[in-house]
């Protein structure tokens, strides 16, 4: 005879006693859901899965404690719930898309979510891959039923061991992760979100890789400027670009970064920052006892350019276990005056074959610099209890702002390599129309360079209209991108500088201060679902004091550092409950 919701504790699925509080886990019977985005505890799915408390929520899904009423088995049930696209009304199980215009992206991500479940199900029984037991559609969304794992994450394990592990123990944990990746890569699946949060160590010492990110990536590919939740430090540069080629080398970078974090007790520099100047310190320089062979393997795995990394998991495993250092010559970063945006490797879709090398091209106009790769972090997603499991998290995600990329690529680098000391505007300007940098310029000019006011139409349909000086946007101007995104504001020598308003193609709006093509100073970002952030930025990251308000009315008011909730802050739920105190890298310090 199966148990009903009245017979089990929905906080741990132990048999319920007559007491109001569960003696096993402390759950108070009758407790409702923490958010209207969650299913109500006690909901029944597919006529056999009893839903308990929410274990965690990320930008793309909610994970619940579950109970198979027929097999009497504790499970984990993951629900597809992309916060940028859909929600559910209070007390309702049905999920609804915000607008009809987002339905294609929602359905595309849902299909990928189910396809991933179907593919991973073939690895049922693999000792290092989370077991998928069932998957189905219901409530306008989809669910994946997985084995429930007792244990802790690698992140928690490291924290309990003075925040770092020795080399041999670290490699012993990482090898099963690589074994898992080797299997899934053979069927064309990438994880795309490897970090200590997603490596689980069971109570019996078994290492399991969890939380694959197919739906997360799929929505990014389909919507382009929607959320792709990325973890700074673990994410290679190609994941920040909508056209970046991803492959086994993408997951290899993340594993290398994870090893680095565990060994060195500090995060590696962001891959985007390393493109211009690589400041990655070898572990041995940070006091880590490590062999030259092990260190060279880790550094090669973390090479900035995909073509410089190991191209397969087997190569990486062999190098980690070898006593001979690997050798490679990474392509040196190129620094230019003005802003620069590296463009490696070549454009394309998810992996096929080997990553190719590509030269670094200086980009210095419109969305120049890091803005062309990681501007507007438009898909900013605030997550509860981690990305599908953890504590309150604010995750940055990418919007690849393609406004002006072609314009930037087509301009002459010598324009920005010259001395940028302001010159006097000539007294007499000519007017006319002529070919300029692979496009057409119409307006005032001097010595065959735009000067004064004019309009440039690019080869892909992008248009800049505004003031120019020495052939570069300078003053007030509007750039309309080929994909429909717009920047209207101040420019200085081809860079966004001063106050400006950016509106993405999917109607995410940032209004605020810019320095050197990046958001620096105060600004406000507003999302179509009603979410909003107002506060300080530093180099495109929330840094300083700021307030983020979720679409459901929850809000965080406090300090930020490098894009994370860090320092003193108050998390206020829509129901009036608060959590105030210190935060470190998105985690509340109990």
**Could you list the residue range(s) of the whole structural domain that residue 55 is in?**
1-148
- Residue 329 — very low, low, confident or very high, per pLDDT cuts 50/70/90? low
Give the pLDDT score at 261: 97
Task: Determine the average pLDDT of the residues in 100-120.
Answer: 84
User: CA 189 to CA 212: how far, in whole Å?
Assistant: 9
Instruction: Identify the domain boundary among 148, 178, 202.
Output: 148
The pLDDT tens digits for 125-170 are 899 998 999 999 999 999 999 999 889 999 999 999 999 999 999 9
263, with CB counted inside 10 A (0-12, 13-18, 19+), is buried
Residue 314: is its pLDDT beyond 80?
yes
Are 472 and 516 in the same domain?
Answer: yes
Structure-model confidence comparison of residues 132 and 240, the more confident one: 132
Q: What is the CATH number of the domain that holds 205?
A: 1.10.510.10
Give the pLDDT score at 255: 98
Q: Is the pTM of this model over 0.75?
A: no
Report if residue 411 sits inside a domain. yes
Contacts 24+ apart (CB under 8 A), 456-464: 456/407, 458/404, 458/406, 458/407, 458/410, 458/482, 459/406, 459/410, 460/406, 462/366, 462/403, 462/404, 462/406, 462/407, 464/366, 464/404, 464/407
Instruction: Identify the domain boundary among 362, 389, 420.
Output: 362
Are 434 and 348 in the same domain?
Answer: no
Q: Taking Cα atoms as reference points, which of 110, 119, 175, 104 lies closest to residue 139?
A: 110
Report if residue 440 sits inside a domain. yes
Are 283 and 178 in the same domain?
Answer: yes
Structure-model confidence comparison of residues 360 and 178, the more confident one: 178
Are 190 and 142 in the same domain?
Answer: no
Report if residue 74 sits inside a domain. yes
Residue 334: is its pLDDT beyond 80?
no
Report if residue 216 sits inside a domain. yes
Task: Determine the average pLDDT of the residues in 385-398.
Answer: 35
Are 174 and 318 in the same domain?
Answer: yes
Give the pLDDT score at 389: 36
Residue 256: is its pLDDT beyond 60?
yes
Residue 339: is its pLDDT beyond 70?
no
Give the pLDDT score at 217: 55
Instruction: Identify the domain boundary among 83, 118, 148.
Output: 148
Give the pLDDT score at 221: 52
Structure-model confidence comparison of residues 24 and 377, the more confident one: 24
- Residue 218 — very low, low, confident or very high, per pLDDT cuts 50/70/90? low
Are 159 and 141 in the same domain?
Answer: no
Which stretch of 43-57, 202-216, 280-294 has the lowest confidence by average pLDDT?
A: 202-216
Q: What is the CATH number of the domain that holds 575?
A: 3.90.930.1
Structure-model confidence comparison of residues 408 and 167, the more confident one: 167
Residue 565: is its pLDDT beyond 50?
yes
Are 187 and 56 in the same domain?
Answer: no
Give the pLDDT score at 579: 87
Total domains in the chain come to 3
Residue 233: is its pLDDT beyond 80?
yes
Residue 3: is its pLDDT beyond 90?
no
Are 139 and 171 in the same domain?
Answer: no
Give the pLDDT score at 58: 72
Report if residue 382 sits inside a domain. no
Are 78 and 161 in the same domain?
Answer: no
Report if residue 269 sits inside a domain. yes
Are 138 and 27 in the same domain?
Answer: yes
Work out the mean pLDDT of the chain and round it to a whole number. 79
Give the pLDDT score at 223: 47
Are 162 and 135 in the same domain?
Answer: no
Q: What is the CATH number of the domain that holds 86?
A: 3.30.200.20
- Residue 228 — very low, low, confident or very high, per pLDDT cuts 50/70/90? very low
Residue 361: is its pLDDT beyond 50?
no
78 known member of a binding site: yes
Report if residue 367 sits inside a domain. no
User: CA 71 to CA 48: how far, in whole Å?
Assistant: 9
Give the pLDDT score at 478: 94
Structure-model confidence comparison of residues 389 and 465, the more confident one: 465
Are 519 and 450 in the same domain?
Answer: yes
Give the pLDDT score at 288: 95
Share of the chain above pLDDT 70, in %: 78
User: CA 531 to CA 528: how far, in whole Å?
Assistant: 7
Report if residue 372 sits inside a domain. no
Asked if residues 366 and 473 have their Cβ atoms less than 8 Å apart, the reply is: yes
Asked if residues 106 and 97 have their Cβ atoms less than 8 Å apart, the reply is: yes
């Amino acid at each position: 005879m199966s148990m009903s919701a009245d017979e089990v504790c929905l906080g741990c699925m132990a048999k319920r006693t007559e007491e109001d509080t569960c003696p096993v886990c402390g759950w108070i019977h009758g407790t409702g859901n923490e958010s209207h985005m969650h299913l109500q505890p006690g909901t029944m799915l597919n006529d056999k899965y009893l839903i308990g408390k929410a274990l965690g929520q990320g930008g793309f899904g909610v994970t619940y404690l579950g109970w198979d009423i027929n097999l009497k088995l504790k499970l984990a049930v993951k629900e597809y719930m992309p916060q940028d696209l859909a929600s559910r009304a209070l007390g309702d199980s049905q999920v609804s898309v915000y607008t009809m215009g987002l339905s294609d992206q929602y359905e595309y991500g849902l299909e990928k979510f189910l396809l991933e479940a179907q593919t991973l199900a073939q690895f049922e029984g693999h000792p290092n891959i989370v077991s998928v037991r069932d998957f189905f559609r219901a409530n306008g969304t989809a669910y994946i039923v997985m084995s429930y794992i007792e244990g802790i994450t690698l992140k928690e394990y490291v924290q309990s061991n003075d925040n770092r592990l020795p080399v041999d123990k670290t490699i012993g944990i990482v090898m099963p992760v690589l074994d898992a990746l080797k299997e899934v890569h053979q069927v064309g699946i990438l994880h795309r979100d490897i970090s200590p949060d997603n490596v689980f160590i069971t109570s019996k010492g078994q290492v399991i890789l969890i939380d694959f990110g197919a739906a997360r990536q799929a929505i990014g590919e389909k919507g382009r400027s929607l959320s792709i939740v990325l973890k700074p430090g673990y994410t290679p540069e190609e994941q920040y670009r909508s056209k970046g080629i991803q492959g086994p080398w993408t997951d290899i970078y993340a594993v290398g970064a994870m090893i680095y974090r565990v060994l060195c007790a500090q995060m590696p520099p962001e891959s985007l920052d390393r493109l211009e100047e690589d400041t990655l310190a070898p572990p041995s320089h940070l006091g880590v006892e490590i062999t030259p062979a092990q260190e060279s393997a880790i550094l090669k795995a973390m090479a900035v350019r995909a073509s410089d990394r190991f191209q397969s998991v087997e190569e990486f495993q062999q190098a980690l276990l070898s006593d001979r250092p690997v050798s490679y010559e990474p392509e040196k970063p190129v620094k230019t005056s003005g802003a620069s945006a590296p463009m490696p490797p070549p454009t394309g879709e998810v992996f096929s074959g080997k990553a190719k090398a590509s030269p670094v091209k200086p980009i210095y106009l419109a969305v120049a610099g890091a803005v062309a790769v990681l501007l507007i972090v438009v898909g900013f997603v605030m997550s509860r209890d981690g990305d599908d499991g953890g504590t309150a998290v604010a995750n940055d995600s990418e919007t690849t702002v393609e406004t002006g990329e072609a314009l930037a690529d087509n301009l002459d680098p010598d324009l920005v390599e010259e001395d940028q000391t302001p010159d006097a505007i000539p007294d007499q300007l000519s007017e006319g129309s002529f070919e300029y940098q692979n496009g057409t310029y119409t307006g005032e000019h001097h010595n065959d360079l735009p000067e004064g006011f004019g309009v440039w139409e690019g080869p892909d349909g992008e248009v800049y209209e505004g003031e120019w000086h020495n052939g570069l946007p300078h003053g007030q101007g509007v750039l309309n991108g080929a994909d429909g995104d717009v920047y209207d504001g101040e420019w200085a020598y081809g860079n966004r500088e001063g106050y400006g308003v950016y509106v993405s193609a999917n109607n995410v709006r940032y209004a605020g201060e810019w320095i050197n093509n990046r958001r620096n100073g105060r600004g406000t970002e507003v999302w179509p679902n009603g979410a909003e952030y107002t506060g300080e930025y530093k180099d495109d990251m929330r840094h300083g004091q700021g307030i983020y308000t979720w679409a459901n009315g929850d809000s965080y008011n406090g300090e930020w550092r490098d894009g994370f909730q860090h320092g003193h802050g108050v998390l206020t739920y829509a129901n009036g409950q608060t959590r105030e105190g210190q935060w470190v890298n998105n985690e509340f310090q109990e």
